[in-house]
Amino acid sequence: MCSPGPDTDAAALRTRDRLAVLATERFSHALDDGADTFTLMVEVEDEIADLFPDVHAALFHRWISADTAAGHEPVSYNPSCGICVGTSGERRRPPLLK
């Protein structure tokens, strides 16, 4: 990663969050690369811990809870899972204007 700074901090957190979603979705659907995606997420978390130890310490317990809650069994449907939504043909519609 780059040298620490507000933009780097935010970019690292966004990257970690995106990888967490991907890893959880891929694991929930028993896809072969779920472990690889999880490993990438852990590597980003390790970089965050090295560069921003206070941020890591403050967020780590929240990450575990949020990531666990997002998972689901491969045979069940989760409307917040991009893979479920993408494979079901359902599309998120914008709210109707009143």
Q: What DSSP string runs through 40-86?
A: HHHHHHHHHHHH-HHHHHHHHHHHHHHHHHH---TTS--TT-HHHHH
pLDDT value at residue 34: 92
Q: Taking the model in full, what pTM does it have? A: 0.76
Among 7, 23, 11, which Cα is nearest to 63's? 23
Reduced to 3 states (helix: H, G, I; strand: E, B; else coil), residue 70 is helix
Do residues 67 and 19 touch, judged by C-beta distance below 8 A? no
pLDDT value at residue 47: 94
pLDDT value at residue 4: 52
Q: Which residues of the chain have pLDDT under 70?
A: 1-8, 89-98
Reduced to 3 states (helix: H, G, I; strand: E, B; else coil), residue 1 is coil
Domain ranges of the chain: 6-88
